[in-house]
């Protein structure tokens, strides 16, 4: 298969040192009914970096990505993306962030092309038809483009979802287990994507169990454990250890 | 302390008002003693509407300011409101039986509106039970509360029209008590009852709010505890 | 492109997407259609066989059937968004929330309108009422009524799609809110069929229209909150 460049963005985002940090979180935490999925993460990620999130299941990788994607709200703490506050400027943040989750968010009864065409309309992609065709081609889906997604394997669906990211103009890409269910060729595509994003200056956070093929494209590795950062390795990421105990509030007497 | 005084005053006021309504004020010429229930029924209905107004305002303020205290206000309004609504309906039915001959009269706009009010806010309370996360719960409840509040005037309006287009202000109408031409004794008793009930309402709202806040604080403490224990576990490794 | 035009385009794209999925096998409309037929039949059993009584009850039965079937239809329309987390993805696009609401409500309205016309015809046949004689006012009532059901239904379906007891909560929350619509629609239908002896048809239609406007505005304003998690 010819190695053509993947069309990632019509513009370059500028030199990393002239941009605000892509991600700044301060004591970011998220509690669910039973547990602290994220117990307090303070990270700063330089613009244009590619960072891997490592850690066992339940460590908080998915929760962190979902928080940054504005898919869920935080319980405590703050976060800024490109300097924009996650809670207050959620709509603006959404325009700059692309998120690949465990679920692909595709419509079963629509074809791959129709799914991407819908996404392109929602994203406001210019030259929609051309861009959709290009995205399909870049993801190796051209021959299945007009088949309904219902019949697709998990790996194929992932490719469509990745194709959707290509249609946007994100400056921060969040990938949750992008290589899971992908065959060798698919993993190669993800590696190509990361190379293309680096060229343009897109910041990438990728949560993964196995990052072998992606290693050459990574700047740093952050390991999470039980909702906290346990290790940071590489360039472009700083983690501040969280103090103990967390902020406490006095129970106000009710009389 | 001040709340306790309020509660005591409210209790006294209600006792006095009820005594007046039952024994002091003369019975209605047409409806007889059954008419006495009206004082309580009308007062309850007024407070039911007030409560849901409070819920609506609390809901809007939560969505705007994201302070859980407003959610506690909304919740209190809904619960106390359901109480007064049920009471108002009961009063209406107790009055209806001797006067109309039936427990329920579809042509009475207030009764039917109040019944729908009850349905709307029971739904609100049930909805709250389905979410554990305090902020999600507050948001979902808030939008339901707001839409319900918007619906109430529409309901009232349409039922008024419904009744109006059917020939029919019968003699047995509860409106007689609110009629400006009604004797002073009736009006005075009614106002007194409303005042007494409002004091009771205020007392109940304050208590319910305090309870909601205490529960909220407890939830918050539990969450902070979980957070802290996760971090201590990590730090000590 | 002005914002309003852009929002309209987005809403239409969402409605079109729903229509496509619907035609390809979702059967929200078909299911609701058959359900309303069954409901009408049961009404016939419950209130018949006296033709006069059924004819008198026809306006009420028409709108009850539409509201029940409508609950089903809007719930299925939102259910399609649970396909692999599609609703979560939809919430992440940089699209104004009210445009999403408008798109889903539009799809709901399309289904409800079809439902309304079919049920109107069915009621005419089953309960021996002269629908053709008052066609214009009846159509106006159906259009205004189905807009309201779609507006309210879409809002509550979106709210309950992520909840635990959603099959129960949707009708429980939605139906009391629809009470004034039910009242006005039935009165208008009744008036239309009877030749409008008291001249009240206009008033009821106005009430329906006002309900529609208010509920669409409320839904559009608050849909964003129910999308956030």
- How many CA atoms are closer than 13 Å to the CA of C176, on its beta-carbon side? 25
Give the pLDDT confidence score for residue A214 in this predicted structure.
Answer: 84
pLDDT tens-digit series, residues C12-27 = 999 999 888 888 876 6
Q: Which has more pLDDT, B78 or B38?
A: B78
Q: Which residues of C touch A108 (CB under 8 A)?
A: 21, 83-84
Q: What is the mean pLDDT of chain C?
A: 90
CA atoms within 13 A on the CB side of A171: 23
| C-alpha distance from C148 to closest chain A C-alpha (Å) | 26
With an 8 Å Cβ cutoff, is C77 touching chain A?
no
CA distance B126 to chain C (A): 8
Closest CA to B154 of C218, C191, A114: C218
CA dist., res. B98 & res. C78, Å (int): 49
Question: Å from C24 to nearest chain A CA?
Answer: 6
Asked whether B142 and B63 are in contact (CB, 8 A), the reply is yes
> Which chain C residue lies closest to A67 (C-alpha atoms)?
C229
Please list every residue in chain A whose beta carbon sits closer than 8 Å to the beta carbon of residue B212: none
CA contacts within 13 A on the Cβ side of C149: 33
B143 to chain C, any CB pair closer than 8 A? The answer is yes
Are A246 and B224 inside 8 Å of each other by CB?
yes
Query: Looking at beta carbons, which residues of chain A come within 8 Å of C9?
Result: 121
Question: CA nearest C68: which of C32, C99, C104?
Answer: C32
CA distance A3 to A24: 35
Among C184, C214, C229, the residue with its CB nearest the CB of B136 is: C229
- What pLDDT is recorded for position A252? 27
Q: B178 and chain C: CB distance < 8 Å anywhere?
A: no
CB-based contact B171:B101 (threshold 8 Å): no
Chain C interface mutation, best of B66, B118, B147, B159, highest count of C Cβ atoms under 10 Å? B147
CA distance B66 to chain C (A): 12
Q: Coil, helix or strand for A26?
A: strand
Least confident of B28-42, B75-89, C18-32, C169-183: B28-42
Q: Tokens representing B30?
A: 């047409």
Which residues of chain A are at the B interface, by a Cβ-Cβ cutoff of 8 Å? 29, 31-33, 35-36, 39-40, 73, 75-76, 225-228, 230, 242, 244-249, 251-252, 254-255
Tokens of C108: 């709901």
Size of interface A-B (CB pairs under 8 A): 63
Each residue's pLDDT tens digit, B188-209: 888 888 999 999 999 999 999 9
Can you count the helices (H) and strands (E) in chain B?
A: 6, 0
A167 touches A131 (CB < 8 A): yes
Q: What percent of chain B has a predicted confidence (pLDDT) above 90?
A: 36
Counting as contact any 3 or more CB pairs under 8 A, the partners of C are A, B
Contact residues, chain A, for C6 at CB < 8 Å: 124
pLDDT of B181: 58
* Residue ranges in chain A modelled with pLDDT below 50: 1-3, 244-255
pLDDT of residue B229: 78
- CA–CA gap between residue C124 and residue C55 (Å, rounded): 9
What are the tens digits of pLDDT across the range C197-220? Answer: 888 899 999 999 999 999 999 999
- Residue A242: predicted pLDDT: 66
Q: A114 to chain C, minimum CA–CA distance in Å?
A: 9
pLDDT at res. B235 = 64
Q: A-chain residues within 8 Å CB-CB of B223?
A: 31, 75
Neighbouring chains of B at 3+ CB pairs under 8 Å are: A, C
Cα–Cα distance measured from residue C101 to residue B188, given in angstroms and rounded to the nearest whole number? 50
Contact between A107 and C80 using a beta-carbon 8 Å cutoff = yes
Residue of chain A nearest B227, judged by CA positions: A39
Is some CB atom of chain B closer than 8 A to the CB atom of C123?
no
Which among A69, A109, A119 is the nearest to C25, CB-wise?
A109
Q: Looking at residue A179, what is its pLDDT?
A: 87
Residue A232's φ and ψ, nearest 5 degrees, are: -130, 135
Nearest-Cα residue of chain A relative to residue B236:
A244
Min Cα separation C212/chain B (Å): 11
Cα distance between residue A157 and residue C85, in whole Å? 13
Task: Give C-chain residues touching A106 at CB under 8 angstroms.
Answer: 83-84, 86
User: Which of C98, C179, C219 to mutate to probe the B interface, most B CBs <10 Å?
Assistant: C179
Give the Cα separation of A17 and A20 in Å (integer): 8
Contact C83 A107 (CB under 8 A): yes
Residue A123: what pLDDT? 93
pTM: 0.88
Determine whether the interchain pair C95/A110 forms a contact, defined as Cβ–Cβ distance below 8 Å: no
Distance of alpha carbon A142 from alpha carbon A159, whole angstroms: 11
- Chain C residues in contact with A73 by the CB 8 A cut-off are 228-229
Average pLDDT over residues B121-150: 93
Q: For residue A254, what pLDDT is reported?
A: 26
Residue B237, pLDDT above cutoff 70: no
Question: Which among C46, C58, C191, C39 has a CA at the least distance from the CA of C128?
Answer: C58
**A107 vs C21, C91, C94: nearest CB:** C21
User: Which pLDDT score, from 0 to 100, does residue A174 have?
Assistant: 96
Residue pairs between chains B and C whose CB atoms are closer than 8 Å = 73
pLDDT per residue as tens digits for the range C55-92: 899 999 999 999 999 998 888 888 777 777 888 899 99
CB < 8 Å to B116, chain C: 176, 179
d(CA C10, CA C7): 5
Q: What is the pLDDT of residue A117?
A: 96
Nearest CA to C86 among A105, B111, A112?
A105
Looking at per-residue pLDDT, the higher value among A248 and B36 belongs to B36
Most confident of A196-210, A220-234, B77-91, B172-186: B77-91
Rounded Cα distance, C191 and C143, in Å: 16
pLDDT of residue B118: 94
Contacts of C28 in chain A (CB under 8 A): none
């Amino acid at each position: 298969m010819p190695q053509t460049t993947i069309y990632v963005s019509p513009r370059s985002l500028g030199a990393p040192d002239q941009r605000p940090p892509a991600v700044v979180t301060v004591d970011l935490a998220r509690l669910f009914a039973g547990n602290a999925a994220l117990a307090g993460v303070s990270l700063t990620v330089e613009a244009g970096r590619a960072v891997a999130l490592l850690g066992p299941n339940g460590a908080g990788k998915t929760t962190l990505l979902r928080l940054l994607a504005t898919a869920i709200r935080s319980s405590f703490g703050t976060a800024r993306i490109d300097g924009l506050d996650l809670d207050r400027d959620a709509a603006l943040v959404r325009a700059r962030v692309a998120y690949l989750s465990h679920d692909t968010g595709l419509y079963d009864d629509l074809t791959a092309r129709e799914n991407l065409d819908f996404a392109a309309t929602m994203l406001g992609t210019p030259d929609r038809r051309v861009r959709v065709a290009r995205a399909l081609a870049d993801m190796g889906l051209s021959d299945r483009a007009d088949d309904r997604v219902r019949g697709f394997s998990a790996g194929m669906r992932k490719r469509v979802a990745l194709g959707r990211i290509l249609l946007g103009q994100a400056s921060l890409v969040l990938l949750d287990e992008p290589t899971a269910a992908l065959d060798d060729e698919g993993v190669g595509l993800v590696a190509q994507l990361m190379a293309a994003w680096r060229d343009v200056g897109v910041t990438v956070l990728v949560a993964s169990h196995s990052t072998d093929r992606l290693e050459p494209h990574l700047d740093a590795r952050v390991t999470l454990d039980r909702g906290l950062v346990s290790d940071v390795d590489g360039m472009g990421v700083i983690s501040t250890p969280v103090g103990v105990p967390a902020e406490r509030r006095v129970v106000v007497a009710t009389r | 302390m001040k709340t306790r005084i309020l509660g005591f005053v409210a209790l006294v006021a209600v006792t006095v008002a009820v005594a007046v309504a039952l024994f002091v004020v003369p019975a209605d010429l047409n409806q007889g003693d059954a008419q006495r229930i009206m004082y309580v029924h009308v007062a309850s209905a007024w407070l039911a509407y007030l409560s849901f107004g409070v819920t609506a305002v609390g809901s809007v303020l939560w969505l705007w300011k994201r302070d859980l205290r407003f959610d506690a206000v909304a919740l209190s309004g809904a619960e106390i409101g359901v109480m007064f609504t049920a009471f108002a309906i009961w009063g209406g039915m107790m009055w209806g039986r001797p006067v109309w001959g039936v427990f329920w009269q579809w042509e009475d706009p207030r009764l039917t509106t109040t019944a729908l009010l009850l349905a709307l806010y029971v739904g609100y309370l049930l909805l709250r039970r389905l979410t554990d996360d305090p902020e999600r719960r507050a948001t979902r409840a808030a939008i339901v509360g707001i839409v319900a509040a918007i619906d109430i005037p529409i309901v009232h309006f349409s039922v008024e029209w419904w009744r109006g287009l059917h020939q029919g202000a019968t003699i047995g109408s509860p409106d007689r008590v609110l009629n400006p031409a009604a004797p002073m004794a009736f009006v005075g008793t009614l106002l007194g009852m409303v005042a007494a009930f409002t004091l009771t309402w205020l007392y109940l709202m304050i208590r319910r709010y305090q309870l909601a806040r205490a529960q909220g604080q407890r939830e918050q403490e539990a969450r902070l505890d979980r957070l802290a224990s996760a971090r201590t576990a990590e730090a000590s490794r | 492109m002005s914002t309003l035009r852009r929002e309209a385009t987005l809403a239409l794209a969402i409605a079109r997407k729903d229509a496509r999925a619907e035609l390809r096998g979702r059967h929200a409309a078909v299911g609701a259609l058959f359900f309303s037929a069954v409901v009408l039949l049961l009404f016939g059993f419950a209130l018949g066989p006296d033709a006069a009584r059924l004819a008198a009850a026809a306006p009420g039965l028409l709108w009850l059937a539409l509201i029940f079937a409508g609950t089903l239809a809007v719930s299925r329309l939102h259910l399609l968004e649970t396909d692999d987390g599609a609703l979560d993805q939809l919430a992440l696009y940089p699209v104004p929330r009210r445009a999403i609401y408008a798109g889903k409500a539009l799809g709901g309205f399309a289904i409800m309108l079809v439902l309304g016309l079919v049920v109107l015809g069915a009621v005419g046949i089953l309960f021996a009422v002269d629908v053709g004689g008052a066609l214009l006012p009846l159509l106006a009532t159906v259009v205004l009524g189905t807009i309201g059901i779609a507006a309210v239904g879409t809002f509550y379906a979106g709210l309950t799609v992520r909840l635990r007891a959603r099959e129960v909560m949707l009708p429980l929350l939605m139906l009391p809110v629809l009470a004034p619509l039910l009242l006005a629609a039935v009165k208008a239908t009744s008036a239309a069929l009877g030749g409008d002896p008291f001249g009240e048809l206009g008033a009821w239609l106005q009430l329906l229209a006002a309900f529609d406007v208010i509920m669409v505005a409320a839904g559009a304003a608050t849909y964003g909150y129910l999308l956030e998690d």
